[in-house]
Structure 1
Amino acid sequence: MSRSTDAPPLHEASEASELTARSKIMATPRVLRPLRNPAYRWLAAALVASMVGAGIWMVALVWQIVAIGGGAAELSLVAGASAIGMLLTTLLGGALADRIPQRRILIVVEVVRAASVGAVALLALAGTLDVWHLTVVAFVGGVMAGLYYPAYSALLPSVLPEDELLAANGFEGMARPVLMQAGGPALASALIAISSPGAALAIAALTGVVAAVCLRRVPDQPLRGERASGTRHPAVALLVDVRDGFSYMVRTPWLLGTLAFASLLILIIMGPFEVLVPFVIKDVAGGGPEGHALVLAAFGIGGAVGSMVVASLRLPRRYLTVMNLLWGLGCLPLVVFGLTDQVWVMALAAFAVGAAFNGGVVIWGTLLQRRVPPEMLGRVSSLDFFVSLAFMPVSMAFAGPAGEGLGLPMVFLIAGIAPLVIGVVAIVAARMRRDELVHPLDVTEPADSEAVGAAPEREPEKALA
């Protein structure tokens, strides 16, 4: 049968179809474009379930300890067990993520989380729960968290193309404060009000089942990058991998400079924000728990907004400079906590800190996924996570004595100004402004050009020679 003379030529029809597809892509908001990918939709659904479960666990744990007659000491014991579990496994988790398909690690994590939390939920509902049960489960949860973050960070670039990683990190940065700091805790509070902490724990366990089911729908991705084969014992090989991760960090200036800055940043600001802000609200502003909740909510909302804004834009040309300055300048509003006695002003300052900090985190996650060699990404992500865990308790331990010895205004003045100074020093010392020009990441998206690819990564010691 002959083709109608009114029909356009086949090549023109193909071009029209391609243009229509491109227009639909461009019409989708940048931050939502990764959700067009079916594999990422399932991965994101699993992450959402996991975040909600974590938010429920945080609130249910406190009130479950209260329900069995415990107090602050018991809560500290359980929280400490979780932190120890994470510290023990984070670095090994990165090495495992570079050797084992990351999806499988995530499934194991969610299954173990569902089983362990489900066990304490049953004990709680049966009235036979003790603090040591919660301590063991918190330790197991910390171990699983140490495995989760490196595996997820290494899996994401296998699921999405490079030009959608910034949007995906922004979407997740927006979802994390909304779900872990608002949605999950609110659901836990409602469940405790109408039933019991045990019921909330049961729902937290159910979120692990949902996450595992969603992860099963994500196609198994082959490990990215090349690995040298060897005859070492598996345990020795893992330790060698961890050592190689440290070696890569040391010989990569932009990575070493940023992690050093981040370590000092956490050391300087986390203690004052977590430990001293409640006392500023109580003793200076005359507020109470509702004022503290307002400040924390403002910080979380700011984080969500900052993540959304950064994810809606292109990756900046000067991505290393912008990222570090966001963290440095974003700490300046902390000075406000030492100068004002108005809770609403503190809330505005917390919003600004959250927005800048999370905006920088979105760039940081994308930077790791695009510039770190694929076979090293799990280990570098675990180093990033380890830095946060290692310096947070130290910062909290020093915050109280510093507040009493120096006074609250001086502590918050240091917390506000010192990170900016350190950030600028890191940018200069690690020669980041030159490095980001040698390795540009602001590539044209596929919708704008047919031939798109990230600039090839050079050997770090050669790139800055």
Structure 2
Amino acid sequence: MVGVTDGTEPTGAATSTRMPRALRPFRHRDYRLLVASMAASLFASGVWLLAIVWQVIALGGGPTALSAVSASASAGLLVSVLIGGVAADRLPRRTVLITVEVVRIVAASAATALALSGLLTVWHLAALAFVIGSAEAFYFPAYSALLPTLLPAGELLAANGVEQTLRPVAMQAAGPALAGVLVGAFVPGAGLLAATAGYALALLPLLWIRIAPPTGTVTDEAEETRRSVLADLREGFAYLVRTGWLFASLAFALLYVLLIIGPIEVLLPFAVRDRADGGPAGYAVVLAAYGVGGALGSIAVASRRLPRRYLSTMLVLWGAGALPLMVLGLTTRIWLMAAAAFLVGATGAGAMVIWGTLLQRRVPAHLLGRVSSLDFFVSLALMPVSMALAGPVGDAVGIPTTFVVAGALPVVLAVAAIALWRLHRDEVAHPLTT
């Protein structure tokens, strides 16, 4: 296969047929290295995310201060995401991934040194979070573009399934769990140090990956990309606006992000602390439940046929699945918070599996890349807004009220999207058989 390095292919077809489909990508040496790097990177990011929460609290910061740090990370991701996609098309993807990990190591090392020396401030954290967020924007475009050069086309679906499962397990469950133990036993700086070590571990496998040279020249393609990137983005945006099911789904997703991301990312640690008398370990339990729910929800939906009412099912999963957010604001028990977070994670991830499938099945192939990047971009646009608003809103109306509103409104929005854009008719008129 073009692009797969020597020594990565199995010795015979029988080996492939005997292996479960989900495990077949692991036959390839360079894929094993890539997925090991990704797992370490996701794990380190999970440690980092929880460590900076308690570092802000240790510095005396409240919801507004944490909003500033979280919004800085999302802003870095937002302003860099389109550039990251271009870089993945024009530069060696392995080089991009290596550069990302080096930047993460430097930023996390700086945060660790400042924290352990007692010199760290909230604004230091905000600046470093912006740097790490910017690096994140370059990572997954390059990762996604590198996969087809390492694996046969028939194994890409399984490889993407591995990524979707690893993300919540490593980043939202295992990483925060370790950070909670370290922060609870020592200081938040210990969590920052562990994140630095995790990023260093993620770098090592990338250095050993062997990339086959391309079979064709890229000069003409790069020149064409320079000439047409803005026009291509405009074409993709025009398709998005005029395609009813796509516009309705994305409009709902934007409001969904605005409503739930801020409360989860900014207000949840304060709900754990103030309502349930929990600390870093309790917060880690809730985050871990959210991550495990996401992993199991992804597996459950991906293991079944695509629902006949795929648009309605997707929006109901998102909308009704947000209802447990109300429990997060009202309960005083950690285990109920964890159960609610599990349900939100499971339904949200299940809806994302359907959403990704719909993009692949219903968007024309020549527009899929642009529509996917615009989906990522416009969804990210409201993340920093949500996180910036969550702190002040929580201070103004209270954390319980904020979670109740965030949990109740998505159901109304989901029903409105289905009815106003007649999605129940669209999905019947455009059946997707599996």
Residues paired across the two proteins, number = 413
Which residue of 2 is the match for residue 304 of structure 1?
295
Partner of 2:136: 145
Q: Would the alpha carbon gap of residues 35 and 218 (structure 1) be closer, same or farther in structure 2, given more than 3 Å must change?
A: farther
* 1:105 aligned partner, one-letter code: V
1:265 is aligned to 2:268: no
Bigger share in helix: 2
Partner residue in 1 for 2:385: 394
Contact 1:318/1:437, CA 8 A, preserved across alignment: no
Alpha-carbon distance between aligned partners in 1 of 2:224 and 2:17, rounded to the nearest angstrom = 52
Q: Distance in 2 between matches of 1:402 and 1:213?
A: 46
Aligned equivalents of 1:115, 1:386: Cα separation in 2: 26
CA drift at 1:263: 0.5
Tell me the residue number matched to 1:4: none
Structure 2 SS opposite 1:332: coil
Deviation of 1:302 after TM superposition, in Å, equals 1.2
Partners of 2:68 and 2:126 within 8 A in 1: yes
Deviation at 1:266, TM superposition (A): 1.2
- What does residue 351 of structure 2 align with? 360
Q: Is the contact between residue 40 and residue 159 of structure 1 (CA under 8 Å) also seen in structure 2? A: yes
For the residue of structure 2 that corresponds to 1:83, the secondary structure is: helix
Does structure 1 residue 434 correspond to structure 2 residue 423? no
Question: Residue 313 of structure 2: which of 306, 311, 322 is its match?
Answer: 322
Query: What residue number does 1:247 align with?
Result: 238
Deviations 1:68-127 (Å, cap 9, x if unpaired)?
x78668876655543332121112323444555655533442344345545766x66996
Q: Structure 2 matches for 1:167-186, cutoff 5 A?
A: 167-186=158-177
1:20-99 aligned within 5 A: 24-25=18-19, 28=20, 31-36=22-27, 38-59=29-50, 79-98=70-89
Q: How does 1:277-426 map to 2 (within 5 A)?
A: 277-278=268-269, 280-281=271-272, 285-289=275-279, 290-337=281-328, 340-369=331-360, 371-372=362-363, 376-399=367-390, 411-426=402-417
% same residue? 49
Whether the 8 Å contact between 2:257 and 2:386 is mirrored in structure 1 is yes
How far apart, CA to CA, are the structure 1 residues paired with 2:56 and 2:330? 37
CA change 1:270–1:258 in 2 (3 A) is same
Q: What is the CA distance between 1:440 and its match in structure 2?
A: 2.5
Deviations 1:8-67 (A, max 9, x none): xxxxxxxxx97x667624xx2x54444345554333222112212323433555677899
Distance 2:414 2:42 in 1: 30
Q: Is the contact made by 1:154 and 1:369 (CA closer than 8 Å) also made in structure 2?
A: no
Residue deviations 1:123-154 (CA, integer Å, cap 9, x gap): 66996976687665443322221222333345
CA contact 2:74–2:383 (8 Å) conserved in 1 = no
Q: Secondary structure at the match of 2:34?
A: helix
Which structure: larger Rg? 1
**Code of the aligned partner of 2:201:** T
For 2:100, the equivalent position in structure 1 comes to: 109
How much is the aligned-residue C-alpha RMSD, in angstroms? 4.3
Match of 2:6 in 1: none
Residue 455 of structure 1: aligned partner: none
**Superimposed CA distance per residue, residues 239-285 of structure 1 (whole angstroms, 9 cap, x where no aligned partner):** 444333323322333332222111011112223334444555555x5
Q: TM-score, normalised by structure 1?
A: 0.70
- Give the corresponding residue for 2:200: 206
Gaps of 5+ in 1: 1-16, 443-465
- Distance 1:252-1:212 versus aligned 2 partners, 3 A rule: farther
Deviations 1:209-249 (A, max 9, x none): 225226x34657789xxx988678x3x64444433332332
**Residue 406 to residue 318, structure 1, CA distance change in 2 (3 Å):** same
CA distance in 1, matches of 2:402, 2:432: 38
